[in-house]
Structure 1
Amino acid sequence: MTDITLANGELWPALRRRTQARIGLGRAGAALPTRHRLELQAAHAAARDAVHAPFVPATVAAALPGLPTVRVRSAARDRLTYLQRPDLGRRLEAVDRAHLPVGDWDVVLVVADGLSSRAVHEHAAAMVRATVERLPGWNVAPVILAEQARVALGDDVAAAMGATAVVVLVGERPGMSAADSLGAYLTHRPVPGVTTDADRNCLSNIRPPLGLDYETAAGKLAALLGRARELGISGVGLKDETDAADRAEALR
């Protein structure tokens, strides 16, 4: 813990080393100091770039050797439509739906660009590998690489493929502290147009080393999948108990 007896000129730098939040920046007249203003502008530019940069599915597929992948698109024909019509990003393009493999899958993993293709390019493949490794004995469907996609697109994918559960790894909305944050959304027995966000479990801010690391996130995700299959539910009725289990083990 920071020593609160530090002199005022030393306190803010000490606190800033412990958080990505912009605190104690000071001011120059009525404005921010030039250095901090430039940092803020750079963060804003990075967030805009993350939203508009194109998703390259081949980049993710190349990082998943040995795992079959299938490319699909949402009903949003381009990025502008995707941003203006969120509803279209939640639905599969009809031609792609017809060509999805159907099987008795326990789970399908969907890698979706969302609002940050940068997050997907940097973190999705590692999360897929770490998650699949923790699901021995599961019938895992081919990995779906989805362009112009939102979280609910996973409901459409799971229904079309016959998968019991779906995990959507999606680029989260960039902020002024992070433009590369990946989210993981788990839904058990999703029904397109009926399932709501209350029926999902979310792991957010997957982006080592500053956010959740792959091993921890994959462990939580696998545990949630196991409990979802056992209880037949996901969402608000399903809790992540891995931290409590870890604490209990540490006290033994």
Structure 2
Amino acid sequence: MEDAWKYLQQFTTARIALGRTGTSIPLSEMLAFRMAHAHARDAVYSLLDVDGLQSVCSTVFRLPVRLLWSQAAHRDEYLQRPDKGRQLHPEAAALLEALPAADLHKDIAFVITDGLSATAVNVHALPLLSLAIPRLQALGFSLAPIHLVTQGRVAVGDPVGAFLQTRIVVVLIGERPGLSSPDSMGAYLTFAPAPGLTDVSRNCISNIRPAGLSYAAAADRLVYLLQQALRQGISGVHLKDDSIQETRLLE
């Protein structure tokens, strides 16, 4: 007998209407679950494609691309000590202190970091940026050099933005893998970045991937939020995402 909930599978990738064999789920679904779990674990331990990201960003966007690293010395320490992933290594901070004046005081700085799924940013960061950056430049916003940070958490963008003295920082980061989404990327934007800020100061665009929020929709939302944040001088809980509402009004 067909599961009465099976029709709902067309609306979600969640694990529903799996069927049953006796008191358990079918063997095929159990194997699929174990495979999804393996993909999630692999994503957590995946590595940032530094060479690939540097090459494409510098060539396509014609922006300097620099490599930084957090205080987490290796992946196990990164997972066990989240605080170290939020802070720049002293040698990385020294590199930012020595930046030329021409790199400072820009409107927007993009930071790309691995987070809990380097796979996500390796796959999705460039498609998103290829849609967002030309639009931001066309609007007249100045962009700081792009910085790649290994073993980084969201808050690592705060010291980067502070050193750059940028008006706003955008962190593209791999989100915690789910059993149906090992490659979900998030974009966090923070106005007036400074060490010590919390998530109350940030806006988040989550689940950026073809099976979640599309690149086009994510770029629309990101550009809208950046325009509003820079115009109003705020971000986080004080900045509301009315982009969907405005789109409906235009329709």
Q: TM-score, normalised by structure 1?
A: 0.92
Give the Cα–Cα distance (whole angstroms) in 2 for the partners of residues 10 and 25 of structure 1: 8
Structure 1 pair 11/30, CA: closer, same or farther in 2 (3 Å)? closer
- 1:16 matched to which residue of 2? 9
Structure 1 residue 29: Cα displacement: 2.4
Q: Is the 8 A contact 1:131 1:218 kept in 2?
A: yes
Q: Is the 8 A contact 1:199 1:235 kept in 2?
A: yes
Letter in 1 for 2:64: P
1:160-185 alpha-carbon deviations (Å, 9 max, x no partner): 11111000000000001100000000
Q: Which runs of 5+ in 2 are unaligned?
A: none
Structure 1 residue 25: Cα displacement: 1.2
Structure 1 residue 10: Cα displacement: 6.6
Within the candidate set 81, 89, 110, 1:85 is matched to: 81
Q: TM-score, normalised by structure 2?
A: 0.92
Give the Cα–Cα distance (whole angstroms) in 1 for the partners of residues 110 and 167 of structure 2: 11
Structure 1 residue 26: Cα displacement: 2.1
SS at the partner of 1:87? helix
Tell me which stretches of 4 or more aligned residues in structure 1 moved more than 4 Å. Answer: none
Give the Cα–Cα distance (whole angstroms) in 2 for the partners of residues 142 and 178 of structure 1: 30
- 1:185 matched to which residue of 2? 188
Q: Is the 8 A contact 1:228 1:234 kept in 2?
A: yes
- 1:110 matched to which residue of 2? 111
- 1:197 matched to which residue of 2? 199
Per mean C-alpha deviation after superposition, the further-off stretch among 95-104 and 135-144 is: 95-104
- For 1:148-159, list aligned pairs within 5 A: 148-159=151-162
Letter in 2 for 1:71: L
Give the Cα–Cα distance (whole angstroms) in 2 for the partners of residues 161 and 170 of structure 1: 19
Structure 1 residue 238: Cα displacement: 0.4
- Counting aligned pairs with the same residue, the percent is 45
- 2:221 matched to which residue of 1? 220
Give the Cα–Cα distance (whole angstroms) in 2 for the partners of residues 29 and 148 of structure 1: 45
Within the candidate set 63, 67, 71, 2:67 is matched to: 71
Give the Cα–Cα distance (whole angstroms) in 1 for the partners of residues 164 and 94 of structure 2: 10
Per mean C-alpha deviation after superposition, the further-off stretch among 52-61 and 32-41 is: 52-61
- 1:131 matched to which residue of 2? 132
- 1:207 matched to which residue of 2? 209
Q: Is the 8 A contact 1:109 1:128 kept in 2?
A: no
CA RMSD of aligned residues (A): 1.3
Give the Cα–Cα distance (whole angstroms) in 2 for the partners of residues 12 and 224 of structure 1: 38
Per mean C-alpha deviation after superposition, the further-off stretch among 152-161 and 17-26 is: 17-26
Q: Is the 8 A contact 2:3 2:17 kept in 1?
A: no
Structure 1 residue 217: Cα displacement: 0.8
Per mean C-alpha deviation after superposition, the further-off stretch among 154-163 and 94-103 is: 94-103
Higher helix share: 2
Within the candidate set 49, 57, 81, 1:56 is matched to: 49
Give the Cα–Cα distance (whole angstroms) in 2 for the partners of residues 30 and 9 of structure 1: 16
Structure 1 residue 11: Cα displacement: 4.2
Give the Cα–Cα distance (whole angstroms) in 2 for the partners of residues 32 and 68 of structure 1: 52
Q: Does 1:145 align with 2:141?
A: no
Letter in 2 for 1:196: T
Per mean C-alpha deviation after superposition, the further-off stretch among 141-150 and 11-20 is: 11-20
Structure 1 residue 14: Cα displacement: 2.3
Letter in 2 for 1:128: L
Give the Cα–Cα distance (whole angstroms) in 1 for the partners of residues 63 and 126 of structure 2: 10
Per mean C-alpha deviation after superposition, the further-off stretch among 132-141 and 151-160 is: 132-141
SS at the partner of 1:236? helix
- 1:3 matched to which residue of 2? none
Give the Cα–Cα distance (whole angstroms) in 1 for the partners of residues 9 and 125 of structure 2: 29
- 1:176 matched to which residue of 2? 179
